[in-house]
Structure 1
Amino acid sequence: MQAVEENQRAQPLREVIRDAVRNRIFEGQYAPGARLVERDLAAEFKVSRLPVREALRMLQQEGLVTEPATRGSVVATLDADQVDDLFSVRSALEVLACRLAAERATDDDIARLTGLVDRARDALARGSLGETHSLNSEFHDEVTRIADNAFLRSALEPLQGRMHWLFRHVRDLPELVDEHRQLLDAIASGDPDRAAEQSARHIAKYREQYPETV
């Protein structure tokens, strides 16, 4: 990999490395339980170990990486109970986000959501599954932004890494994109009850389909 030069990028080195490692986790290149060695990552990115250490710390805060006492940093594993707990929290927070978004969305907000769904459909048609997953995650993040509730946003922030990880395990992407279109329509209707109900159904469906461990 080419050296990462901070002065040539808008992001700090630690964020560039965090994003790269996070994508590898999402794409399965780093499986649950895999060791992430600072020295090796620093050599690959051609940087010192400090930004790598900072990137791994950020991923720990997202719940994607753990640091057992004797093993250094490893990719986290979610067991069945943790997955169930995460879905419970996701249901409570995302249903509220969709309810608020239906009340507060502007025409520009709806246009952004529509663009994300359209781009996801186009990416899927091109066979770009990684891009489709990323756009679907971005759709959920945009709904949270539209909800415009600082306490809700601060509650979701520490969970976003793990929630995006959940999104990546959806296998029926055409159906997922269609469901996001339905959720978009519910938010655009301005009916908070309809949006909340659609969100609850959407989450419950994938909760039932989810594997016991990831």
Structure 2
Amino acid sequence: MLTAEETQDKERPLREAVRDTLRTRIFEGHYVPGTRLVERDLAAEFNVSRLPVREALRMLRQEGLISDRGARGAEVSTLSPKDVEDLFDVRQSLEVLACRLAATRATAEDLDRLKGLLDEADRCLAKGAVIEAHRANSEFHDAITRIADNNFLKSALEPLQGRMHWLFRHVSDLPELIQEHRDLYEAIASGNPDRAAAQSASHIGKYREQFPDDFQKTEPALHRKKK
């Protein structure tokens, strides 16, 4: 069931509250690839009508996090190793461009926003709020896309963001990831587009090399026990 705060927030459509809850469950590994998502059952669980659930599932399809399976309905998407490689190919090219543009277009207010997200990630990590730290890291990348201020680039990146945030949660060593984001922030803040582009390519390339081929059998990093 959705919380009272989620259902009573008049400024936030109910479909978005349902979508965000389902997305979080996917990101955190509660719904593994192949899990069926039945509209009727979800409506009963959340104590809402089927319409906001239907809309939430539609939005998650657009993000690529769920897929239609005919008579089986919707299920959490399954990505092949080639799908993962293709995602990294496209994301790396687009993200490098976003960082290059951000380095030349970021205002002082934009940089404050990026730094604030990094500080938030550190605070969350310090108190063991891993999910919130991951969320701040995801918002950091999304903020760079907004700062780049290119509508065509934004339109190309937005459908990939959900899947990339999902993938990164399987490989991320959070302290290291936050430090890499600080390095990326410094590159953007320098105003040097070549430096920002190189830092972005290095950042995504590193995690691409570490990514497990069998990630769909691997728990998200937040569930793994430290050795």
- Give the structure-2-normalised TM-score: 0.90
Q: Match of 2:225?
A: none
Q: How does 1:1-12 map to 2 (within 5 A)?
A: 1-2=1-2, 8-12=9-13
Corresponding residue of 2:145 = 144
166-175 vs 140-149, greater mean Cα deviation: 166-175
Aligned length: 214
1:166 equivalent to 2:175? Answer: no
Q: Identify if the C-alpha distance between structure 1 residues 166 and 189 changes in structure 2 by more than 3 Å, giving closer, same or farther.
A: same
CA distance in 2, matches of 1:123, 1:2: 23
Cα distance in 2 between the residues matched to 1:2 and 1:151: 35
CA positional deviation for 1:2 = 5.0
Report the CA distance between 1:3 and its aligned residue: 7.1
The CA deviation at 1:107 is 0.8
**SS of corresponding position for 2:75:** strand
Verify the 8 A CA contact 1:98 1:195 in the aligned structure 2: yes
1:195 aligns with 2:196: yes
**1:71–1:114 CA distance, 2 compared to 1 (3 A):** same
> When the two structures are superposed, what TM-score results if normalisation uses the length of structure 1?
0.96
List gaps (5 residues or longer) in structure 2.
Answer: 217-227
Q: Secondary structure at the match of 1:9?
A: coil
Give, in angstroms, the shift of residue 170 of structure 1: 2.6
Partner of 1:156: 157
Tell whether 2:109 aligns with 1:78. no
Structure 2: which amino acid aligns with 1:51? Answer: P
Question: What whole-Å deviation, never above 9, does each CA across 1:159-180 have from its counterpart, x for those lacking one?
Answer: 1111111222233110000000
Match of 1:102? 103
Percent identical: 66
Q: Indicate the residue corresponding to 2:220 in structure 1.
A: none
Q: Look up the match of 2:70.
A: 69
Q: Cα gap change, 1:3/1:185 in structure 2, threshold over 3 Å: closer, same or farther?
A: closer
Q: What is the aligned-residue RMSD (CA, Å)?
A: 1.4
